[in-house]
């Protein structure tokens, strides 16, 4: 639920609650006021009659005021003083219905100690109608007030939060690799400006950290090259020495293998960091078909040796705009995997059309999610010569050009599919 | 061949010196840019092995200087930076080749030989090793005057062996030589084994001797038995 809906929702809920309570209270108050008025008029009338009876001992000749119906009875005996005001419904035979009345019932004694009973009725259906009308108007008033205030609230909130949503949208598009700082709009709301400042500082710091890290890894990789070259040169010299015994040879072999692995690792990481640093920013139109065909030539003999069948379905028009070095790295890494992890008498199928490249090959079955292999140092095999960077490099390159890459494996048949993103012209 | 090694890392320059001397070259070492400039001005070298990142100057300037003074001799750039720009600029201003650190000596040797061949047209377009004769101009190999039909890889492999006779050549260096930098992650040595096996078979089939000796676990040695 977004903020606007949520605030409107709460506003509506609380307003309704306030409206119901307020409405009820108002209704009761008005009702009380009306009843008090009725009661007062009943008491006044009763007092007038009572005074007359008490002074004259006769039923006074009265005329009903306020539209009251008055009944007075004189008794021959004394009664207790009593007075009550109540509601009642009286059956009206003319209309065959009950009409609500308020009445006062009062007893007292004259000076001669004779009792009298005064009952005065006041019809209250009119008053009730008034009450109902008031309530209805009140309800409409409240309701329209509520609607208007919700609308105003919504509009204000939407306007106030606009810079926030804009900032969030801009911050969401933040690309750590882009040089451009976040272009956040200046608002007249301090809190949002603060938020923007925080966004800005945070991304700035993130970018700096990222650059430092990137620079560090590239420098580190470079600096490692020379010592590696020294180690390699020394082992090269060492192994050329005559009269080496088997043990020494075995030791040199281990050093040599470790150096090679370190070198490959370093070279792979350096390549990734270079791709990230956009060293390969120059683009040209490359034909993946040509690259793939010449790439396959590298493996002619090994394919024959392993009796791997190659099926090509390559469209001439499949041209992609990318760096030619990276295109070669991409294809050679994919082909190398397809050949290396293939089985004897297996197959490799390559398909290229205008929008995609698919390489399908036989191999061993996989227990892990093939997508994991795109991560650095994740290896699908326990081959000690593999450093686990090939597919990360592939992934990095595809990311650079906004290509979509998927790796699936069904029944030992592996499929890597690349979808190109063509610029719409 | 007379070679100048320009490399500021003492340990590495000494190794290069040792190895190339072992190969029968005459080597001199310059540890600094100024030293290299001096030596290059006074002496005539067949090839200069040049590290670009020197403490007191950029190796690329040395190339420019040499070219402006019309000094002959091949130039092989050696760099820790496999940065494309350096490579492109270096080759553009007159370097003959570019090798990224760390490299195998076998590769260095092969590159120096290849530069030397290219820069000297007379009498060097043919390599002979006993009954094996390679005409580098048209990429043809003869064994006892029988033309061998070799694949591109087998031909490259033979040339690589020729540049490093009587030396142990590791399988790694062969992989790097045959498949280049881009295929760094192709590390299945079966590939090498296949090529070596086929090459050997073809030479022996043409009544050639089997010079390729397998050094178990390491690689191979092209040896005059």
Interchain proximity B185–A390, CB inside 8 Å: yes
pLDDT of residue A425: 44
The ipTM of this complex is 0.80
Interface test with B, best of A224, A227, A247, A260 (most B CBs within 10 A): A260
In the structure, what pLDDT confidence band is assigned to residue A270 with cuts at 50, 70 and 90?
confident
Distance (Å) from the alpha carbon of B22 to chain A's nearest alpha carbon = 9
Q: Which of A143-147, A212-216, A345-349 has the highest mean pLDDT?
A: A345-349
Q: Is the pLDDT of residue B87 over 90?
A: no
Q: Please tell me whether residues B14 and B94 are part of one structural domain.
A: yes
Flag if B82 and A270 touch (Cβ within 8 Å): yes
Please give the structure tokens belonging to residue A353: 């059309």
Within this chain, do residues B110 and B133 fall inside the same structural domain, yes or no?
Answer: no
Residues facing residue A87 across a β-bridge:
A102
Q: How far is CA A203 from CA A19, A107, A147, A352, B131, in A?
A: 47, 90, 42, 40, 69
Poorest-confidence range of A56-70, A78-92, A270-284? A56-70
Most confident stretch, A93-97, A336-340, B141-145: B141-145
Task: Give the closest residue to A269 by CA, choosing from A405, A396, A416.
Answer: A396
- 3-class DSSP string for chain A: CCHHHHHHHHHHHHHHHHHHHHHHHHHHHHHHHHHHHHHHHHHHHHHHHHHHHHHHCCCCCCCCCCCCEEEEEECCCCCCCEEEEEEEEEEECCCCEEEEEEEEEEEEECCCCCEEEEEEEEECHHHHHHHHHHHHHHHHHHHHHHHHHHHHHHHHHHHHHHHHHHHHHHHHCCCCCCCCCCCCCCCCCHHHHHHHHHHHHHHHHHHHHHHHHHHHHHHHHHHHHHHHHHHHHHHHHHHCCCCCCHHHHHHHHHHHHHHHHHHHHHHHHHHHHHHHCCCCCCCEEEEHHHHHHHHHHCCHHHHHHHCCEEEEEECCCCEEEECHHHHHHHHHHHHHHHHHCCCCCCEEEEEECCCEEEEEEECCCCCCCHHHHHCCCCCCCCCCCCCCCHHHHHHHHHHHCCCEEEEEEECCEEEEEEECCCCCC
Residue A250, classified by CB atoms within 10 Å of its CB into exposed (0-12), middle (13-18) or buried (19+), is: middle
Identify the top-confidence range among A65-69, A224-228, A376-380, B188-192.
Answer: A224-228
CA dist B21 and B210 (Å) reads: 27
Q: Cis omega (within 30 of 0) on the bond before B102?
A: yes
Smallest Cα distance from B69 to chain A, Å: 31
Q: Is B88 on the interface with A (CB under 8 A)?
A: no
Nearest CA in chain A to B195: A301
Chain B partners within 8 Å of A389 (Cβ): 185
The answer to whether residues B8 and B69 belong to one domain is yes
Q: Is B194–A302 a contact, with Cβ atoms under 8 angstroms apart?
A: yes
Asked if the model's pLDDT at residue B71 lies above 90, the reply is: no
Whole-angstrom Cα distance, residue A151 to residue A329? 60
User: Are residues B89 and B79 in contact, defined by beta-carbon separation less than 8 angstroms?
Assistant: no
CA distance B225 to chain A (A): 15
Question: With bands split at pLDDT 50, 70 and 90, how would you rate the model's confidence at B188?
Answer: low
Domain closes at, from B119, B146, B163: B119
What is the distance, to the nearest Å, from the Cα of residue A258 to the centroid of all Cα atoms in its chain?
Answer: 49
Per residue in A20-72, pLDDT (tens digit) is: 898 889 889 988 998 898 899 888 888 888 888 877 777 776 666 667 788 88
Q: Are residues B57 and B83 in the same domain?
A: yes
Inform me whether the C-beta atom of residue B179 falls under 8 Å from chain A C-beta atoms. yes
3-state SS, one letter per residue, for B16-83 = HHHHHHHCCCEEEEECCHHHHHHHHHHCCCCEEEEECEECCEEHHHHHHHHHHCCCCCEEEEEECCCC
CA distance B27 to B4: 6
Instruction: Find the domain containing B136 and state its range.
Output: 126-222
Whether B89 and B60 share a structural domain: yes
- In this prediction, residue A411 carries a pLDDT of 85
* For residues A323-348, average pLDDT: 87
Name the burial class of residue B90, with classes exposed (0-12), middle (13-18) and buried (19+) by CB atoms within 10 angstroms of its CB.
buried
Chain A environment of B9 (Cβ under 8 Å)? 226, 229-230
- Judge contact between B110 and B116, C-beta under 8 A: no
**Pairing status of strand A356-362 against strand A347-352:** antiparallel
Distance CA A295, CA A330 (A): 10
* Contact criterion met (CB < 8 Å) for A302 and B16: no
> For residue A385, what pLDDT is reported?
59
Inter-residue contact A75 to A115 (CB < 8 Å)? yes
B67 and B39 fall within a common domain: yes
Domain harbouring B45, CATH code = 3.40.50.2300
Q: Which of A77, A145, A60 is nearest to A112 (CA)?
A: A77
Least confident of A293-302, A390-399, B56-65, B182-191: B182-191
- Cβ atoms of A100 and A89 within 8 Å: the answer is yes
Give chain B positions within 8 Å (CB) of A395.
none
Question: In whole numbers, what is the pLDDT of chain A averaged over residues?
Answer: 84
Interchain CB contact of A11 with B (< 8 Å): no
CB contact under 8 A, A237 and B195: no
Residues B95 and B177 in one domain: no
Would you report the helix, strand and coil content of chain B in percent, each value rounded to 5?
40, 25, 35
CB pair distance less than 8 Å for A340 and B186: yes
Q: How far apart are CA A69 and CA A121, in angstroms?
A: 5
Same domain, B131 and B107: no
Q: Domain boundary residue among B119, B151, B171? A: B119
Angle between helices A3-56 and A125-172 (to 10 degrees): 160
Please give the structure tokens belonging to residue A380: 């699908």
CB < 8 Å to A385, chain B: 187-189
What's the pLDDT at A362? 92
Confidence check: pLDDT of A360 > 90: yes
Angle at A372 between CA A288 and CA A407, to 5 degrees: 35
B146 and B88 part of one domain:
no
B216: domain CATH number is 1.10.10.10
Domain end position, chosen among B93, B119, B145: B119
Structure tokens at A124: 């209250």
Q: Does A278 touch chain B (CB under 8 A)?
A: no
Give the pLDDT score at B183.
Answer: 53
Q: How many domains is chain B built from?
A: 2
Which whole number is the average pLDDT over A181-194? 84
* pLDDT score, position B184: 45
B17 — pLDDT class (breaks 50, 70, 90): very high
Position with higher pLDDT, B200 vs B176? B200
Residues B103 and B148 in one domain: no
Please give the domain boundaries of chain A with CATH numbers for all domains: 3-147 (no CATH), 190-276 (1.10.287), 284-419 (3.30.565.10)
CB contact A279 to B (< 8 Å): yes
Q: Above 60 in pLDDT, residue A191? A: yes
Q: Are residues B97 and B175 in the same domain?
A: no
Distance of CA B24 to the CA centre of its chain: 14
pLDDT for residue A184 is more than 90: no
> Hey, what long-range contacts does B133-141 have (CB within 8 A, 24 or more apart)?
B134/B158, B134/B159, B134/B162
Question: B186 falls in which pLDDT band (50, 70, 90)?
Answer: very low
A96: left (phi over 0), alpha (psi -120 to 50) or beta: left
- Nearest partner of A39 among A86, A82, A98, judged by Cα: A86
Q: Which of A418, A221, A310, A300 is nearest to B179 (CA)?
A: A300
**Region class of A228: left (phi > 0), else alpha (psi between -120 and 50), else beta:** alpha
Task: Please give the Cα distance from A408 to A410 (Å, whole number).
Answer: 7
Same domain, B13 and B101: yes
**Greater model confidence, B60 or A219:** B60
- Give the pairing of strands B219-222 and A404-410: unpaired
Q: Which of A381-385, B103-107, B132-136, B195-199 has the lowest mean pLDDT?
A: A381-385
């Amino acid at each position: 639920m977004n903020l606007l809906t949520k605030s409107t929702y709460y506003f509506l809920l609380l307003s309704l609650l306030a409206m119901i309570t307020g409405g009820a209270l108002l209704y009761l108050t008005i009702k009380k006021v009306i009843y008090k008025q009725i009661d007062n008029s009943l008491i006044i009338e009763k007092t007038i009659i009572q005074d007359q009876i008490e002074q004259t001992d006769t039923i006074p000749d009265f005329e009903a005021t306020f539209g009251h119906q008055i009944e007075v009875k004189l008794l021959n005996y004394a009664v207790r003083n009593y007075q009550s005001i109540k509601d009642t419904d009286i059956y009206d035979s003319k209309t065959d219905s009950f009409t609500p009345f308020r009445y006062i019932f009062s007893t007292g004694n004259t000076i001669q100690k004779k009792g009298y009973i005064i009952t005065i009725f006041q019809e209250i259906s009119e008053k009730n109608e008034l009450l109902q009308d008031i309530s209805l108007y009140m309800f409409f008033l409240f309701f329209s007030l509520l609607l208007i205030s919700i609308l105003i609230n919504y509009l204000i909130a939407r306007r106030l939060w606009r810079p926030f949503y804009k900032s969030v949208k801009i911050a969401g598009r933040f690309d750590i690799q882009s040089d451009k700082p976040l272009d956040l709009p200046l608002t007249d709301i301090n809190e949002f400006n603060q938020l923007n400042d925080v966004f800005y500082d945070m991304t700035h710091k993130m970018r700096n950290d990222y650059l430092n890290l990137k620079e560090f890894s590239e420098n580190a990789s470079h600096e490692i090259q020379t010592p590696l070259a020294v180690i390699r040169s020394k082992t090269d010299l060492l192994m050329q020495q005559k009269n080496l015994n088997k043990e020494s040879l075995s030791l040199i072999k281990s050093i040599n293998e470790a150096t090679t692995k370190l070198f490959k690792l370093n070279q792979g990481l350096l390549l990734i960091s270079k791709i990230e640093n956009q060293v390969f920013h120059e683009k040209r139109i490359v034909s993946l078909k040509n690259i793939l065909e010449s790439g396959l030539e590298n493996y002619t003999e090994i394919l024959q040796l392993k009796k791997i069948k190659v099926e090509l379905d390559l469209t001439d028009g499949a041209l992609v705009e990318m760096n030619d070095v990276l295109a070669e790295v991409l294809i050679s890494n994919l082909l190398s995997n397809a050949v290396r992890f293939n089985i004897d008498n297996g197959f490799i199928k390559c398909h290229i059309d205008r929008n995609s490249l698919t390489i399908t090959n036989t191999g061993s079955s996989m227990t892990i999610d093939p997508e994991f292999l795109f991560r650095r140092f994740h290896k699908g095999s326990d081959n000690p010569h593999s450093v686990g960077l090939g597919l990360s490099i592939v992934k990095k390159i595809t990311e650079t050009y906004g290509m979509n890459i998927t790796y699936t494996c069904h029944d030992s048949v592996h499929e890597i599919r690349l979808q190109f993103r063509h610029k719409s012209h | 061949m007379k070679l100048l090694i320009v490399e500021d890392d003492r340990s590495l320059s000494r190794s290069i010196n040792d190895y190339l001397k072992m190969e029968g070259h005459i080597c001199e070492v310059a540890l600094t840019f100024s030293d290299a400039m001096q030596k290059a001005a006074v002496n005539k070298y067949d090839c200069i092995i040049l590290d670009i990142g020197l403490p007191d100057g950029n190796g690329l300037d040395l190339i420019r200087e040499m070219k402006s003074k019309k000094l002959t001799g091949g130039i092989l750039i050696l760099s820790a930076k496999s940065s494309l720009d350096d490579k492109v600029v270096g080759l553009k201003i007159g370097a003959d080749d570019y090798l990224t650190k760390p490299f195998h000596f076998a590769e260095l040797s092969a590159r120096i030989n290849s530069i030397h061949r290219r820069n000297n047209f007379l009498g060097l377009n043919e390599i002979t090793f006993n009954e094996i004769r390679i005409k580098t101009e048209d990429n043809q190999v003869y064994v006892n005057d029988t033309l061998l039909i070799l694949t591109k890889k087998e031909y490259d492999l033979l040339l690589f062996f020729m540049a490093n006779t009587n030396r142990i050549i590791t399988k790694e260096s062969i992989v790097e030589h045959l498949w280049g930098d881009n295929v760094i992650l192709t590390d299945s040595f079966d590939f090498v084994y296949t090529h070596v096996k086929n090459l050997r078979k073809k030479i022996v089939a043409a009544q050639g001797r089997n010079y390729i000796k397998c050094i178990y676990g390491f690689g191979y040695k092209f040896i005059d038995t």
